[in-house]
A and B are shown apart, each in its own frame.
Chain A
Amino acid sequence: MSGYDVPRFGHGSRVPGWDQAADLTKDPAVIPDSATTLVPETLRAGIEAAMAKYPERRSAAIPALHLAQELHGWCSPEAIEQVACVMRLTPAYLISVATFYDMLETRPKPRNDVFVCTNISCSLLGADEFYEAMVAAAAEDPDVGVRSFECLGACDIAPMASVNGEYVGPLETEDAAQIIEDLRAGGPVLEAKQLRFRRSVDPGAVGP
């Protein structure tokens, strides 16, 4: 899945050292000691509330990592440590979970996420061109991370993107600059094209 990208040379072979063995002289990372690990109070309360919802506390791993990512910006070693401390799991276990899922980042990421769907329905209608335009528009802005994403489940507004979770579409290449502008302004993004205001196309869907 999102996984760890092996660093490669231009011709494709792996950069030496990518597979260097773990330092075996180090102590294994155990469940962090709650007496010495400082966890922000809001994060602790959030994780504990999440754990209480399930018959097994482990089920709260993904919600807890979401919370930690929200607080720290990404699943940093520090964030993982804090979640591990509250959930009484090893950091290694949580890293294995975090690297599996596309929305959890184990590397620093910009504050704003722009996920451009480049799956089949969107790409038929020009998503690849929009993605390039979006990457170009965001090139100057360190606060905006653009990613091509798998089907986001909004092919009715193809080509579309999810800007910090807000679905917008159908997009044209000019909208890329507008998205950056709206993100900088801090208000709603491309309000006229937001999915939440879209009405159903089915003739039977009209309310009484």
Chain B
Amino acid sequence: MSIHILFEGIDEPGLNRLEVYQRRGGYQALRAALAMSREDVLGELLTSEIRGRGGAGFQMGKKISFLPRGDMDKYLVCNADESEPGTFKDRELMQKSPHMLIEGIVIASYAAGIGRSFIYIRGEYDYQADILEAAIAEAYEAGYLGEQILGSDHSLSLVLHRGAGAYICGEETGLLDSLEGKRGNPRLKPPFPAIQGLYQGPTLINNVETLSTVPHIIRMGAAQYAEIGTQTSTGTKLVSISGDVQRPGNYEIELGIPSREIIYGLAGGPADGREVKLWFPGGSSAPVLTKDDLDVPYDFDSLAKAGTMLGSGAIIVVDDSHRVLDVAYKLAKFYAHESCGKCVPCREGTNWTVKMLQRIETGEATPMDLDIMASVQEEIIGNCLCVLGDAMAMPVGSIIKKFRAELEEHIEAARERAGIGSLENVIPVGVADEHAGPLPVH
């Protein structure tokens, strides 16, 4: 039996309007929450142990409890800048059930004592932004937003902010800079946004899916919500599955089910006669897994144990009709384009990885290039302000590690194609300095 919480009847026509949402019991959770004390609502979120659905998987209740108490200006920012390749779950949520998100924002802001909130939506989601704008206007009209919501002492303003197309603005501190009207460069952490975020005030940043789940936690009761899923990954997760599968789309799953069940059971697997070659379990930033890993349970900790991550919950399946070289090249090119240029390892590392992958295609590479490339990836990881560089280094590094034989075949084949000559003549035997690059080709 599959459990549906967020996606329960989400295709109902008109659900994006307040009237239909209310008829289905919408905003009842908000009334219930406002009848409780702020501490009790926060207690519920802590008990539910819900982990952030945006990528890092940090517990939402804990994040709120890091916010300083007191009457200063505090902010809530909903991260709707969904641009991780392969991810499209928030788009469907916002388009079909915008009030669920608004209700979640109001409850979360109540728990954290926040008076101002923003939704940062990526500029490309024009249609979804229009829907949200209309929904926010309806919510203001009905008194779910604004001063003294439903007669309580809680007041909240909500502003929809449209971005203008930059992957890096999905990174929380880059997003804050962008929301402040600057170039979206990430900031040095710490201080973390919970202490010093938007306009230097304490800021709570959460993903659309996380916030949309909040009303359901209040409605069901945190203890019951925590029953779903596994011990450390509670609840359900929206999984965006795309690539070489027969039924791509968003599916709601209980955390902890085998990955095979998602890829083959729900999405139908690759076309007949094709086999899974590699798959990304959590967006294109996650280290890749192969067909031997299909039975890994799909939850935060099992995937971490398998050497990868759940990330944004986007599965991209690549079947055996594609070359890993093309996959790695697409990845590297994307991150090189989106690097903001602030930190050297990321700016140069992404750029050079692209060039080295091009060398393989043109036949100029030797297998030693793979070692150099792998070492470049290692130098990027952990050495930048944000994880954009890591987001390229992890999948590309894992591809080099897991598909080295195939990449070496590409190198050999490309050399032959280009008439550069066999590798036998160029691989130096016994290089004195193991860190030295390849010898020049004559």
Binding site for B on A (CB under 8 A): 1, 53-56, 58-63, 65-66, 96-97, 100-104, 115, 119-121, 123-125, 149-156, 158, 162, 165-167, 195-196, 199-208
Contact = CB atoms under 8 A, between A and B. Distances in A.
Contacts of B91: 153-154
A150 B334 contact: yes
B166 A119 contact: no
Given A121-B243, A155-B242, A103 B318 contact: no
Contact of B243 (A115, A120, A165, A208): A120
Given A202-B7, A202-B250, A66 B180 contact: no
Contacts of A203: 2
Nearest to A127: B330
A154 B249 CA distance: 9
B158 to A, nearest CB: 10
A103 B2 CA distance: 40
Interface string B1-24: 010100111111101000000000
Nearest to B159: A53
Contacts of B338: 1, 150
B223 interface: no
B127 A155 contact: no
Nearest to B327: A120
Contact of A123 (B96, B248, B252, B330): B330
24 contacts: A1-B338, A55-B73, A59-B180, A60-B181, A97-B181, A97-B183, A101-B164, A101-B165, A103-B123, A120-B331, A121-B85, A123-B330, A150-B83, A150-B338, A153-B124, A154-B88, A155-B316, A156-B250, A158-B243, A165-B127, A200-B92, A201-B247, A207-B12, A207-B15
A113 to B, nearest CB: 10
B337 interface: yes
A204 B4 contact: yes
Contacts of A97: 181-183
A54 B334 contact: no
A158 B127 contact: no
Contacts of A63: 161-162
Contacts of A119: 85, 284, 330, 334
A166 B9 contact: no
B199 A55 contact: yes
A14 B57 CA distance: 45
Contacts of A199: 11
B88 A120 contact: no
Interface of B: 2, 4, 7-13, 15, 73, 82-88, 90-92, 95-96, 116, 122-127, 159, 161-167, 178-184, 199, 240, 242-244, 247-252, 284, 314, 316, 318, 322, 326-327, 330-331, 334, 337-338, 340-341
Contact of B84 (A1, A102, A151, A167): A151
Contacts of A54: 159
A200 B316 contact: no
Contacts of A55: 73, 116, 199
Contact of A206 (B11, B126, B163): B11
A162 B124 CA distance: 8
B300 to A, nearest CB: 21
Given A56-B180, A62-B178, A156-B250, A100 B166 contact: yes
B181 A56 contact: yes
Contacts of A60: 181
A166 B159 CA distance: 23
A166 B125 CA distance: 9
B316 A62 contact: no
A104 B9 CA distance: 37
B243 A104 contact: no
A100 B184 CA distance: 8
B126 A158 contact: no
B88 A1 contact: no
A153 B82 contact: yes
B95 A196 contact: yes
B183 A100 contact: yes
A124 B322 contact: yes
A200 B7 contact: yes
Contact of B163 (A53, A62, A155, A208): A62
B197 to A, nearest CB: 13
A65 B9 contact: no
A62 B175 CA distance: 12
B124 A103 contact: yes
Which of B116, B159, B248, B338 has the most chain A CB atoms closer than 10 A to its own CB? B248
A153 B318 contact: no
Nearest to B166: A101
A120 B284 contact: yes
A53 B124 CA distance: 21
Contact of B88 (A56, A96, A156): A156
Nearest to A56: B199
Contacts of A124: 243-244, 316, 318, 322
Nearest to B123: A103
A204 B126 CA distance: 26
A42 B73 CA distance: 32
Contacts of B180: 56, 58-59
